Amino acid sequence: MAYFYLNFKCMKRIGIIGLNEQAIHHIERIKESNDFDLVGLYDHNTIFAKKIANKYGLRYYNCPIDIIEQAEVLDFVAPHPMDFEHASMAIKSARHLFFEDYFLQDIQKATKLLDLAEEAQVKVHISRCDRFNPAVEKARKYIQNPSFIETRRALAYSDQSSNINPIMGLLLKDIDLILSFVDSGIRKIQTRTNNPFSDKVELINVRIEFDNSCVANLNLSSLSSVSYSKAAFYQNTGVIHIDLHDSKLEILSGAKEQKNNKTVSFENNSSGFDSLTSELESLSACIDDNSHTIVGLRDLTTALEVMDEIRNQLAI
């Protein structure tokens, strides 16, 4: 007699807390997922939340406590003053968390959540689309002990006023990306800025010197005619260029003793790439395997320590 064993993977119940335009993307990706079952959503704006819930055939929860009780995973999308309290409540209820990348800019709150998460033994994923970029993932095979790193990121100029400083958010992304490649303590941080049109940071240069002699030079601008995001890693074996915007990888390699032996490989992996889908799959796998999330609260607190030093130098 033949026996057939089928491996049924149980879908994880997930709820969304906080709604904005980005939340629509989350709803659509989660509904397509084979890993998660979307149980509903919550937002303090009842009218808007019910409108979204009705559009997608979802349950609206009047109270965050109710959705925390019903879900195994909570997806925090739009920021809200009570996010820290809701996240703390979820962790204490042994719920896993997914945070959008602009959450938890306060190192003290991030550290408290880290302590709670480690005590509760739950998984917390911080969204960092650059870490899941196909070009970055491919580049990790080639980047070994870089001596110099340069990042260049720019936003197209807009004269519309906003309470949010996009440059500082992008800077945190670049810091996180660089720290993921350099396993060393930091010796020195130098910061320069120029803000010709407002009192917010519009142009910034950050130089980070590591204990292992690696140097990282970060350049960010919100005054460009076009948006772009690029990184270059220099090492003894060559140079690796990454176009984060278009998910392109360019490798210039060649030994010093063979000056003419240089090769260039070019890969474009942007077709069909959706970082949110990859990140949700990664979190699900970490829950199943009881492994560390690729970007967790400890990574966030380390990056925020660097950000705090930069803010101190800028007196902001």
269-292 confidence digits (pLDDT tens): 555 678 999 999 999 999 999 999
- Write phi, then psi, for 114 (nearest 5 degrees): -60, -45
Q: What confidence tens digit (pLDDT) does each residue in 97-123 have? A: 999 877 778 899 999 999 999 999 999
Q: Is the pLDDT of residue 201 over 90?
A: no
Cβ atoms of residues 215 and 149 within 8 Å? yes
Provide mean pLDDT across the span 188-197.
86
Q: With CA atoms as reference, report the closest residue to 45 among 79, 72, 15.
A: 79
Domain range list for the chain: 12-128, 134-271
Does this model's pTM top 0.85? Answer: yes
Q: What confidence tens digit (pLDDT) does each residue in 228-262 have? A: 999 999 999 899 999 999 899 999 986 554 554 44
| Cα distance between residue 300 and residue 221, in whole Å | 23
Q: In terms of pLDDT, which residue wins out, 255 or 314? A: 314
| Cα distance between residue 16 and residue 35, in whole Å | 15
CATH 3.30.360.10 is right for the domain spanning 134-271: yes
pLDDT at 10: 85
For residue 10, count CB atoms less than 10 angstroms from its CB and return exposed for 0-12, middle for 13-18, buried for 19 or more: exposed
pLDDT at 256: 56
Q: What confidence tens digit (pLDDT) does each residue in 73-104 have? A: 999 998 887 889 999 999 999 999 999 877 77
Q: Quickly state the pLDDT bin for 8 (edges 50, 70, 90).
A: low
| Cα distance between residue 292 and residue 286, in whole Å | 6
The full DSSP string for 132-200 is: G-HHHHHHTTT--S-SEEEEEEEEE------SS-HHHHHHHHHHHHHHHH--S-EEEEEEEEE-SSSSS
The domain defined by 12-128 folds into Rossmann fold (3.40.50)
pLDDT at 5: 45
Q: How far are the Cα atoms of 60, 83, 145, 177, 218 from residue 173, in angstroms, in the given order?
A: 32, 21, 20, 6, 11
Q: What is the mean pLDDT of the chain?
A: 89
Lowest mean pLDDT among 43-57, 111-125, 264-278, 289-303: 264-278
